[in-house]
Amino acid sequence: MNVIDAMETCTAMRYFKPDPVPKEELEKLIYAATRASNPGNSQGWEFLIIDDPAIKGPVGETVLQGMAPFFANRPQGQDGVEERMLQGAEHLARTFAEVPAWIVCMARQVYPPHDPQESFMHSTIYPAAQNLIVAARELGIGTCFTTFPGAAEPQIRQLCNIPDDLHLFVYVAVGYPAKEFRPVRRKPVAEVLTWNRY
Ligand SMILES: Cc1cc2nc3c(=O)[nH]c(=O)nc-3n(C[C@H](O)[C@H](O)[C@H](O)COP(=O)(O)O)c2cc1C
């Protein structure tokens, strides 16, 4: 699959088969992530893979407790597509512990070296995370960026013994897809591109 095809069909996957993703495949995703552009080549990223049920179980329960009020009052999607997305997001949160692996994308505040800024952590981690999901698509692995597990961050830090200077940004659900990859629905280029002057 060429990289444009992978990007075009790299939809957020929220339903997974129970099959584990082999360690070598997960490490390929981290390899792809760590090929990304980053500020001054400071490479202030780090990745934590969580596939241990003894961690996923309790974190999943905390996520569910935190999200229960939202699920109870969840608004209807504005159309079928949005409703399916909301249902998928709820399913993913409810099945946190059953997702084969979670990749926590983290960064350290290290750039620029003379005066490290928080904003550069975002600039570091998001290109890497995007590389990761496109590489996964090429390998036939589904992924979904999430932020909702942030509700359980203190517990994740404690269970996984995460050093204090690592900041947690995005949690990527990873597994073999139980639904089809579809073309992403995005604005046409003509709507977002200007040449030279507005
Ligand atoms: C930073 C970030 C956070 C996201 N958080 C969540 C999330 O918590 N739960 C979820 O189901 N999807 C999450 N998503 C996925 C988006 O909802 C999804 O990419 C968007 O709806 C477009 O859908 P598509 O990628 O399938 O085309 C997140 C995406 C990004 C970039």
* Ligand 1 contacts CB of residue 145 (under 6 A): yes
DSSP 168: E
Distance CA 50, CA 130 (A): 19
Distance CA 110, CA 41 (A): 11
CA 92 to centroid of ligand 1, rounded, Å:
11
Residue 44: count of CB within 10 angstroms of its CB: 21
CATH of segment(s) 3-192: 3.40.109.10
Tell me the CA distances in angstroms from 89 to 47, 82, 102, 146, 173, one per residue in order.
Answer: 23, 10, 15, 9, 11
* Ligand 1 contacts CB of residue 133 (under 6 A): no
Whole-model pTM? 0.97
Distance CA 171, CA 117 (A): 22
CA atoms within 13 A on the CB side of 130: 11
Q: pLDDT digit of tens for each residue in the chain (198 aa)?
A: 999 999 999 999 999 999 999 999 999 999 999 999 999 999 999 999 999 999 999 999 999 998 888 888 888 889 988 999 999 999 999 999 999 999 999 999 999 999 999 999 999 999 999 999 999 999 999 999 999 999 999 999 999 999 999 999 999 999 999 999 999 999 999 999 999 999
Question: Is residue 13 within 8 Å of residue 99, measured between CB atoms?
Answer: no
Tokens 């709507």 sit at which residue? 191
* Ligand 1 contacts CB of residue 48 (under 6 A): no
